Amino acid sequence: MNRRNKLVLVITALLFALWILAQYNSENAETWQPDYRSKSKSAYGCYVLYDNLGHLFPGQKVSQLYQGFVSAKLPVDSAANVIIITNSFISDSYDVKAMLGFVAGGNNVFIAADYFPQCLKDTLGFETKTDFGYLVKPNDTVNEIFLDFVPAYIGRFKVALSHNRFVNFNDSVQVLGFDQKKQTNFVAYKVGKGMLYLHCEPKAFSNYGILYGDARYAFVALSVLPTQPVVWCNFYKPGSENTGSPMRFILAEPPLRYAYYMVLFGVLVYFLVESKRKQRIVPVVEPMQNLSWQLAQAVGKLYFRNGNHADLAHKLAVYFKEFLKEKYYLRVVDLSPDTIQSLAAKTGLPEVEVERVLKTIMVFEKRKIVSEPELMNFSRQIDDFKLKCNN
């Protein structure tokens, strides 16, 4: 391991140790992170509310649920009240369908959340909006909130709000609460034999909302539920008690789900392309050209320009004799009757013409002086002979 890698490992170990130390020291520190857990005594925990459910529903059993509606498979005829307090009610279409089926059997579900999944909004026909910048500290000026089903002088409370509201809901909804701007934040839907209550201000049910706001509001709002067994659902909570995962949230929202599938497709394409063996580009090598003809032309022009016609005629005669030997399988090229007869038979030319060409070769092979016209005439005779032989 080189020095650089050791340094990276040491820095990583130190950062991890500092993180553990910070987590240890912050265990008992006051936190403003919403968790809405039944055992949490932080500002946005729900210890106070859960601890008083026995007084709100006297004589009824209060149990806890750590599964979603699909996994829990709650009996439809259980006649129970399911309470869900969370910052984000992360649920997919299957879970929403199971929940509505549970409600339709004669049960009641109370959900207080800042966020509701799009599949639930589409099913019930509503939307939500948020005015960002909610209050988080006890000494801040709190907002007024109202319950529509109790007298005005009683249903006026002061709690810290997230400034969420329901909009674009249909006529079948029953409005149960609103804020000081007359914006709806508490509604109810009749689903089969049961009721589904939706509240978009979960902080009103937190320890902070009850102890530093108005303790009456949360309990009066929950009084819409009948006196029957209560199920406190921990599955949709943020933090450790939520047995779900961020993947549930991604797959529950169509835009995020499509983006997730696109990322998976892109990664798959990347691996398919990059998995191929890479090598440097092989340069294109052009095949070597046959320059024999160009060389012969260049040499011929050189001889012709120098005026050494005799030497050039001698080479023409020698090359032509080699041509006759190789093509017609002759041992010697001379003026003997056997050579003339054999070459005439193989070329198909008259013996007289064959003899005339051979005599010309012998003459130019031995001449010391050759003029330019004679050289041109000799070259023409050789070309004519080759042409006739080819035909």
**pLDDT, mean over the chain:** 81
Confidence (pLDDT) at 106: 92
Q: Does the structure show a pLDDT above 60 at 26? A: no
Residue entry with tokens 């050579």: 339
Q: Does the structure show a pLDDT above 60 at 137? A: no
For range 83-105, the mean pLDDT: 91
Secondary structure (3-state) at 285 = coil
List C-alpha distances in Å: 226 to 46, 58, 113, 221, 340: 21, 11, 21, 12, 131
pLDDT band at residue 217 using 50, 70 and 90 as cut-offs: confident
Cβ proximity of 116 and 128 under 8 Å: yes
No. of helices (H) and no. of strands (E), the chain? 15, 11
Confidence (pLDDT) at 116: 93
DSSP letter, residue 117: -
Segment of 48-52, 75-79, 137-141, 326-330 carrying the highest mean pLDDT: 48-52
Higher pLDDT: 214 or 106? It is 106
Tell me the percentage of the chain whose pLDDT exceeds 90: 21
Confidence (pLDDT) at 39: 87
Domains of the chain: 29-262 (3.40.50), 295-390 (no CATH)
Give the long-range contacts of residues 365-373, CB within 8 A, separation 24 or more: 365/314, 365/317, 365/318, 367/310, 367/313, 368/310, 369/310, 370/309, 370/310, 370/312, 370/313, 371/309, 372/307, 372/309
Higher pLDDT: 237 or 188? It is 188
List C-alpha distances in Å: 381 to 324, 355, 372: 14, 13, 14
pLDDT in tens, 263-313: 888 788 777 766 666 667 778 888 877 777 777 778 777 776 777 788 888
List C-alpha distances in Å: 309 to 63, 303, 316, 385: 121, 7, 10, 21
Sheet holding 194-199, edge to edge: 62-65, 230-233, 81-85, 108-112, 194-199, 184-191, 174-179, 143-147, 156-159
pLDDT in tens, 323-358: 888 888 888 888 888 888 888 888 888 888 888 888
**DSSP element (H, E) containing 8:** helix 3-25
DSSP letter, residue 218: H
For range 23-44, the mean pLDDT: 72
For range 244-272, the mean pLDDT: 72
For range 368-387, the mean pLDDT: 86
Secondary structure (3-state) at 242 = coil
Residue entry with tokens 């998995």: 275
For range 130-134, the mean pLDDT: 63
**How far apart are alpha carbons 102 and 69 in whole angstroms?**
8
For range 222-247, the mean pLDDT: 78
Report which of 112, 64, 109, 63 is spatially closest to residue 86, judged by C-alpha positions. Answer: 112
Q: What is the pTM of this model?
A: 0.56
